[in-house]
């Protein structure tokens, strides 16, 4: 049986599918009923065959009048009232959307490249700051050592001045007495320490310049 789209919308199903299902259900009911009866005049196959024959007559001459649209004109197709036929160029819309998407992707790529470059620059600045911190630590250590050496140098200078006073003191008689004097011997040692401290100071300054 040929089915129109209008009929599908009216019955909310495909009439032919309903007919097939109805036929299968009828055969199943008949088979179960025959199995329950012990004495039957016709066999199961004969009864099913008769049912199928009658169903062909029912389908061709009666069912077509059941599955048909009413002729009183009261039924109206909803889709023909509400659905609008849209005549637009969808290809242009798709192309425009694609172009817009590509532009957005390119814009995001540019921003990503800029962010990556900013990260590289930031890492460079951090490395430079770390180097400055290391150099400042070295410089601070050098200045601390220089301050200590300056204090030692001042102390040695004071004792050296005292030694010079001993050398010009008229009360000292004879070189042998001077050499045996413990104060003189201490002054000689302090002069040696002064010389060594000055050399150490020079070496520290040279080391600091190499690090810079």
- In terms of phi and psi (left: phi > 0; alpha: psi -120 to 50; beta: otherwise), the region of 190 is alpha
- Quick check: 159 and 190 in contact, CB under 8 A? yes
Asked whether the predicted pLDDT for residue 108 surpasses 50, the reply is yes
| pLDDT tens profile 148-163 | 777 777 777 776 666 5
Q: What is the pLDDT of residue 2?
A: 46
| pLDDT tens profile 113-150 | 999 998 998 888 888 888 888 877 777 877 777 777 77
116 exposure class (CB count in 10 Å sphere: 0-12, 13-18, 19+):
exposed
CA 176 – CA 162 distance, rounded (Å): 19
| pLDDT tens profile 24-33 | 777 777 777 7
What is the pTM (predicted TM-score) of this model? 0.29
Q: Which two tokens stand for residue 5?
A: 């789209």
Our CA dihedral for 5, 8, 11, 13, rounded to 10 degrees, sits at: 180
DSSP 61: I
Asked whether the predicted pLDDT for residue 95 surpasses 70, the reply is yes
Nearest to 56 by CA among 116, 1, 113, 10: 1
First to last CA, the chain: 100
Scanning the chain, the segments in alpha helix (DSSP H) are 5-11, 15-36, 44-58, 64-66, 78-82, 90-167, 175-180, 182-211
Q: Which two tokens stand for residue 15?
A: 């009439």
| pLDDT tens profile 12-71 | 555 556 666 777 777 777 777 766 665 555 566 777 777 777 777 676 666 666 655 555
Q: Which two tokens stand for residue 117?
A: 């470059």
- Quick check: 166 and 184 in contact, CB under 8 A? yes
Q: What is the pLDDT of residue 81?
A: 47
């Amino acid at each position: 049986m040929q089915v129109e789209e209008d009929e599908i919308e009216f019955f909310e199903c495909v009439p032919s599918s309903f007919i097939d299902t109805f036929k299968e259900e009828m055969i199943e009911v008949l088979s179960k009923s025959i199995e329950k009866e012990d004495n039957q005049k016709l066999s199961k196959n004969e009864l099913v065959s008769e049912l199928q024959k009658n169903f062909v007559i029912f389908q061709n001459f009666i069912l077509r009048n059941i599955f048909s649209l009413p002729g009183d004109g009261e039924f109206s197709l909803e889709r023909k009232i509400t659905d609008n036929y849209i005549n637009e160029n969808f290809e242009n819309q798709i192309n425009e959307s694609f172009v817009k998407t590509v532009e957005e992707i390119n814009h995001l790529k540019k921003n990503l490249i800029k962010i990556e470059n900013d990260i590289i620059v930031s890492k460079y600045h951090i490395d430079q700051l770390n180097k400055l911190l290391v150099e400042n630590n070295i410089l601070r250590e050098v200045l601390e050592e220089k301050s200590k050496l300056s204090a030692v140098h001042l102390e040695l200078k004071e004792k050296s001045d005292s030694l010079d006073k001993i050398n010009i003191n008229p009360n000292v008689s004879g070189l042998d007495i001077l050499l045996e004097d413990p104060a003189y011997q201490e002054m000689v040692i302090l002069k040696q320490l002064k010389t060594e401290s000055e050399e150490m100071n020079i070496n520290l300054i040279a080391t600091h310049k190499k690090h810079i």
